[in-house]
Structure 1
Amino acid sequence: MIERRPVVAVVDDDPRLLESLEDLLESAGYTTRSFSSAQSLLISGTSGLDVLITDIGMPGMDGFELCQLVKEVRPDLPTFLITGRHEIADEDRAQGISGLFRKPFDAQELLAAIGDALRNSKNGGEHES
């Protein structure tokens, strides 16, 4: 039986960061789905996603709003916020997220956090086959 690779959705309006994160995640064994806006992710839906990584500062709907909407339908989906801002006045809006990374972030730390979140979500209720 072939094991399914975890699917990580990345939402960021910077195409260079999307490509860079895609390369990083795929080299670590993940399947990636990239979105240039929160709206494009919501249109596509969250079914089949194992992890969500979203930028905070995007035009239209920001990462906080996206996380809030996603948590309503997928409360156990591990979610990570990334930002280029050095001060975040709304850190209390980040309640319930799996992690917050400031750009430029350490790629290995992000991969370790994703791995931990996936292990915790599998141990937290889903049964492994």
Structure 2
Amino acid sequence: MSKGRAVIAVVDDDPRLIESLEDLLESAGYQARFFSSAHSLLAGGFSDVDLLITDIGIPDIDGFELRNLALKARPDLPVFLITGRHEMADQSRAQGIRGLFRKPFDGQVLLADVGDALRDRDMERDNEN
């Protein structure tokens, strides 16, 4: 949880998506950290992450499992799921997820939702204090 720019962790094995998300997130003032697998993110933990964006179809630990691990470690961590596989986005375990994006997605909509999720999280923290 950063004191300055919000840290967005992105887990995806598609280098083209990583490159475009890096440009998008950093142009919006976020600090972006990229991981090609869930294991590489898990090795460092979630303590300095403000929001997680993960592909559903990553190998070994899929995006749903990674979301569950993240929320177990940090219940307040906003997690967004992205997928290029439309059938995965329609699965019952994807229903009702606030941050579910099907590739290709509108970058401006993603940024708006990221901003909303971070503001909502900060408001909840303020209300707890």
- Using the size of structure 2 for normalisation, the TM-score is 0.89
Identity of aligned residues (%): 67
Q: What letter corresponds to residue 113 of structure 2 in structure 1?
A: A
How far apart are 1:97 and its partner, in Å?
4.5
CA RMSD of aligned residues (A): 1.8
Partner-residue secondary structure (3-state), 2:13: coil
Q: What letter corresponds to residue 11 of structure 1 in structure 2?
A: V
Number of residue pairs matched?
125
In the alignment, structure 2 segments of 5+ residues that lack a partner are none
Structure number having the greater helix percentage:
2
How far apart are 1:96 and its partner, in Å?
7.7
- Using the size of structure 1 for normalisation, the TM-score is 0.89
The equivalent residue for 1:15 is 15
How far apart are 1:41 and its partner, in Å?
0.4
Question: CA, structure 1 residues 89+16, in 2 after alignment: closer, same or farther (shift >3 Å)?
Answer: closer
Q: What letter corresponds to residue 30 of structure 1 in structure 2?
A: Y
Partners of 1:27 and 1:98 in 2: CA distance: 23
Verify: 1:30 aligned to 2:47, yes or no. Answer: no
The equivalent residue for 1:60 is 60
How far apart are 1:95 and its partner, in Å?
6.6
* Residue-by-residue CA offset, 1:21-73 (whole Å, 9 max, x unaligned): 01100000000110000110000111111100000001111100100111101
Question: CA, structure 1 residues 107+52, in 2 after alignment: closer, same or farther (shift >3 Å)?
Answer: same
- Which 4+ stretches in 1 moved above 3 angstroms? 89-92, 94-98
Aligned runs of 1:77-96 on 2, under 5 Å?
77-88=77-88, 91-94=91-94
